[in-house]
Structure 1
Amino acid sequence: MSAGSVLFDSRGAFHDAVHQAFEAAIARGARRIVCCDPDFADWPLDDAALHERLVPWLKRPQRRLVLLAADWSVLPRRHPRFVAWRTPWAHAVEGWAPEEGDEAELPRVLVDDGDVFVHLRDAEHWRGRAGRDAGDAQRWRDVLDGRIERAQPSFFLRPLGL
């Protein structure tokens, strides 16, 4: 474990780590925050305080919140406020789905373009690691950027074909 990280082992601690990571990334002026999860069902995305904190950040030039998920059908049911909040920010909040065959074992990760990261490695027991470590963050960016390069746009404002 690197000196700039902490372990967590509960749902509440994971949610705290996600909030702290967003705060740290925004405070240091990150241009890009990437979140990856099979479906984001257990993330604290419906939190109004998070939405309020993201708005001034998203208003700044060239800011992107990038989401990568295999199953987007869960988000409207589990996080309806987030889905509604995202509507005016669709230009800056991107949704991606892995290419066919690349859905297996999507990591549960948040990483910014600096040194901030959260990794939920065991979703059943809520075990993971979070913190600020440039090396760990770079490794996650490498993994996620490769997945996103092959991904397809998803998480549309309106279902396709309507």
Structure 2
Amino acid sequence: MTTEPQALPSGRFSGPTDFAQGVRDALACAAREGWPALILSDATFEDWPLRERAVVESLQAWSKAGRRMTLLATRYDEVVRQQPRFVAWRQTWGHLIECRVCRDRAPGDCPSAIWSRSWFMQRLDPQRSVGIWGHNPERSVLLRQLLDEKIRDSTPGFPATTLGL
């Protein structure tokens, strides 16, 4: 007997447990369905489950030629300190990933979201991990426009490797 993968949820979510599971499920679905483009955005990514083996395995399965990921944050120091598996994966697949730093470094000015053509998740209140997720085309377009605006007003950051002398 085979089991069908769970469809990604729609509607509202509330709390850090729902949020973290949404990140896990979205990245697993991206790998399974071969989403060509992903945008991950958060002020610091400190409460994202990017350090987990299963999440990095999903990212590894997603990583193929032609895929693109954009990361947007106000800073990446928490990623480097708290997400070592993700940092190692990012070093390997840096050619697929564009990392950007929000020009305005206030944490509230950087959206906390995952966007793809297939599904989105947006924390409206990052402190309480309350937000919306789903397939709603209108909300997806609005989120993409917000992310595009923030990306246009950002600078490159978080290099895959650090060159020394």
Mark yes or no: TM-score above 0.5: yes
Q: Deviations over 1:70-118 (max 9, x none)?
A: 111111111111111211101112210123x475511111101x13111
Cα RMSD of the aligned pairs, angstroms, is: 2.0
TM-score by length of 1: 0.86
5+ unaligned residues in a row in structure 1: which ranges?
none
SS at match of 2:60: helix
Equivalent pair of 1:95/1:155 in contact (CA under 8 Å): yes
Deviating runs (4+, > 6 A) in structure 1?
Answer: none
5+ unaligned residues in a row in structure 2: which ranges?
1-8
Count, aligned residues: 156
- Residue in structure 2 matching 1:120, options 114, 123, 131: 123
Residues 25/157 of structure 1: CA separation in 2 closer, same or farther (3 Å cut): closer
TM-score by length of 2: 0.84
Equivalent pair of 1:25/1:116 in contact (CA under 8 Å): no
User: Residues of 2 paired with 1:155 and 1:20: CA distance?
Assistant: 25
Name 2:133's counterpart in structure 1: 130
Look up the equivalent residue of 1:5 and give its one-letter code.
S
User: Residues of 2 paired with 1:127 and 1:68: CA distance?
Assistant: 20
Q: Deviations over 1:27-56 (max 9, x none)?
A: 443211001111111111111112112223
Residues 79/20 of structure 1: CA separation in 2 closer, same or farther (3 Å cut): same
Percent identity of the aligned residues? 31
1:93-112 matches, within 5 Å, as 93-99=97-103, 101=104, 103=106, 105-112=109-116
